Amino acid sequence: MTIIKHNAKPKLRQVLPVMIGPIVGISLLSPLAPVLAVPAALWAAASLTYGLALGFNQKSWCACGAGIAAMLMHLGFSIGFISQVVRRKALGGPRPSRGTQLDAG
């Protein structure tokens, strides 16, 4: 949310994880047009392949699961980021977070 807070232009490495949610959402329409599943399949294949490579490199079965964890983190970040952007636009601007305390003095 720092990008939004400071009105900064995001870099490509910051934009790509945000696109995972829409890619997965669009892939739900793949029964109508199978080509819509390709971006999500490529992302899943890349994540799982990287996890397997990491596991083989570290000789650890647990590290092989890093691809699954990365997929869940990317998807969660994307959905959370997009929902915050939509919420801010719907409510008309930034809102104080739950952790913000008001000064009584």
Mean pLDDT across the chain, nearest whole number? 87
Residue 103 above 60 pLDDT? no
The larger pLDDT score, comparing residue 73 to residue 99, is at 73
**pLDDT tens-digit map of 23-61:** 999 999 999 999 999 999 999 999 999 999 999 999 999
Residue 6 carries which DSSP code?
T
Domain ranges of the chain: 37-91
Q: What are phi and psi of 32, to 5 degrees?
A: -85, -35
Joined tokens for residue 71: 């997929």
**DSSP notation for 27-72:** HTTTTT-GGGGHHHHHHHHHHHHHHHHHHHHHT-HHHHTHHHHHHH
Where is 16: in which H helix or E strand? Answer: helix 12-18
Angle between helices 20-27 and 38-58 (to 10 degrees): 120
pTM of the model: 0.77
